[in-house]
A and B are shown apart, each in its own frame.
Chain A
Amino acid sequence: MRTRSRTAPIRKNPQHQRHGHGKAHCLKILKQLSAYLDDELPREICEEIRRHLGACPNCEEFIKSLRQTITLCRHHPVRPLSPTAKVRLRRQILKVAASLRYRA
């Protein structure tokens, strides 16, 4: 059985090209998008947002790029410390810690 993702838009009409609602509604939705993507909103608000996304191509595009942003951040690469640098840093820390112990 296919289940709908909690964040998948509900499509009212596949030809949803017209903006048939006020901009204020879009702003209200945009303010909640992070909470929506993090699954932190009550079910009824999620439903309302999904309905809106299904009917509003602008907000659908917006949420897509916001979701991509979060995905990129989650995969942001960092070059790890080399084993040599790690050994050097560890030695340095132990040396200073030993001098602190000595002073105490």
Chain B
Amino acid sequence: MDLIYRFAQRLCGEPDAAKDIVQDTFLNAYRGFKKFRGDARVSTWLYTIASRACLRMRRKRKGEPERELSLEEFIPASEGEFKLQIPMDGLTPEEALQNKELRRALDQAIEKLPPKYRMVLVLRDMEGLSAKEVGTIMGLNERAVKSRLHRARLFVRRELSARGIARQGRLETDTEERMAP
């Protein structure tokens, strides 16, 4: 239950929706248990059911269209874009994520990802599944999983870095204001 709740919350971003997905997942698993052939792990099977439940819920709620992310949109157009930085130098990830702004930026970046990219990122980088397992869950070959994962990571990087720049800019502005005569 904890596994599916964590996954659903990462995918949907809301605790209440995540609870609904947990319920849907276990009831659908109960209904479909006879069809479970046992050639995948039970957790993989549950992730598959949960991911479908989550996609159904999102479609129903927001009617959000699937958007393709092209690799070209992440190719830096200037030296500055190459050098976008995330404000976590010298910090462990846990310490960095104590920064509320960074944590919010990460949540929002994940939320903004088109669903099919978000699902790959959540399953692969957050839940720690292999590309093969993600492929099984999403009905994709490994190549497609890796391609979506790369785009999803580039998207999140850009979102986080943009925040980093904004933050740095503000700090610099503050310093300038303090130093002004």
Partners in one complex: yes
Q: Which residues of A contact B (CB under 8 A)?
A: 26-27, 30-31, 33-35, 38, 40, 58-59, 61-62, 64-66, 68-81, 85-86, 89-90, 92-93, 96-97, 100
* B86 in contact with A93 (CB, 8 Å): no
Cα–Cα, bound, A76→B42 (Å): 24
Given A61-B85, A69-B157, 18 extra CB contacts under 8 A: A33-B150, A58-B76, A58-B82, A58-B83, A59-B82, A61-B82, A64-B85, A68-B86, A72-B86, A73-B125, A74-B128, A75-B93, A78-B6, A81-B5, A81-B19, A86-B1, A89-B22, A96-B23
Known contacts A74-B128, A78-B6, A78-B10: A35-B146 contact under CB 8 Å = yes
Report the 8 A-B pairs with minimum CB-CB distance, sorted nearest first. A58-B82, A75-B93, A34-B150, A73-B125, A69-B157, A61-B83, A68-B86, A78-B6
Q: Does B177 contact A (CB under 8 A)?
A: no
CB proximity of A59 to chain B, nearest CB, Å:
7
Classify the interface of chain A: helix, strand, loop or mixed: helix
Q: Which residues of B contact A (CB under 8 A)?
A: 1-2, 5-6, 9-10, 15, 19, 22-23, 26-27, 30-31, 71, 74-76, 79, 82-86, 88, 93-94, 96-97, 102-103, 106, 110, 121, 125-126, 128, 146, 149-150, 153-154, 156-157, 160-161
* B93 in contact with A71 (CB, 8 Å): yes
Picked from B27, B146, B153, the residue with its CB within 8 Å of the CB of A66 is B153
CB proximity of A100 to chain B, nearest CB, Å:
7
A residues in contact with B149, CB < 8 Å = 34
